């Protein structure tokens, strides 16, 4: 029997976000990680203002965005977890690097996104889920368009 702290459970949830994304496991993201609707903000990448978005739409957007990319790898760390006064909500800050590899790209086969995430997690009847997602890019390195 595993004995995980609430903090361990929340950090594992965040790790699942990145691992399931890397392996294009969209159904697992929908079933195990995200709430039905997410506050989604990637404005630091020019994606417009943050807004509430159905999780299935986020997964569909990522699936389309990763078409033709041979490998995706997220590496996250420096997790700072703060629980609300009632430990059924948690705010998570973490650093993350995302590497995208496309063998056929002619101007360099990789691009790298370096930034941080601010996530809000809630304890539901299905376990911990992410209901708010904000990404702040620090810089992009390599072949940004993977052309």
Read off the pTM: 0.95
pLDDT in tens, 6-65: 999 999 999 999 999 999 999 999 999 999 999 999 999 999 999 999 999 999 999 999
DSSP label at residue 85:
S
Domains of the chain: 6-142 (3.10.450.50)
pLDDT in tens, 84-107: 988 899 999 999 999 999 999 999
What end-to-end distance do the CA atoms of the chain give, in Å? 49
DSSP string covering 15-67, please? HHHHHHHHTT-HHHIIIIIEEEEEEEE-GGGT--S-EEEEHHHHHHHHHHHTT
pLDDT in tens, 112-145: 999 999 999 999 999 999 999 999 999 999 999 9
Rounded distance between C-alpha atoms, residue 147 and residue 106, angstroms: 6
């Amino acid at each position: 029997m595993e004995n995980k702290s609430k903090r361990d459970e929340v950090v594992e949830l965040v790790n699942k976000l990145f691992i399931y994304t890397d392996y294009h496991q969209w159904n697992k993201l929908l079933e195990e990680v995200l709430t039905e609707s997410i506050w989604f903000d990637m404005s630091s990448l020019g994606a417009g203002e943050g807004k509430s978005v159905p999780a299935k739409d986020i997964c569909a957007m990522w699936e389309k965005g990763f078409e033709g990319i041979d490998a995706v790898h997220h590496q996250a760390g420096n997790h700072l977890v703060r629980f609300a006064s009632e430990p059924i909500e948690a705010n998570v800050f973490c650093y993350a690097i995302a590497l995208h590899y496309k063998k056929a790209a002619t101007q360099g086969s990789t691009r790298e996104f370096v930034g941080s995430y601010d996530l809000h997690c809630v304890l539901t009847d299905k376990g911990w889920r992410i209901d708010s997602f904000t990404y702040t890019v620090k810089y992009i390195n390599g072949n940004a368009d993977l052309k």
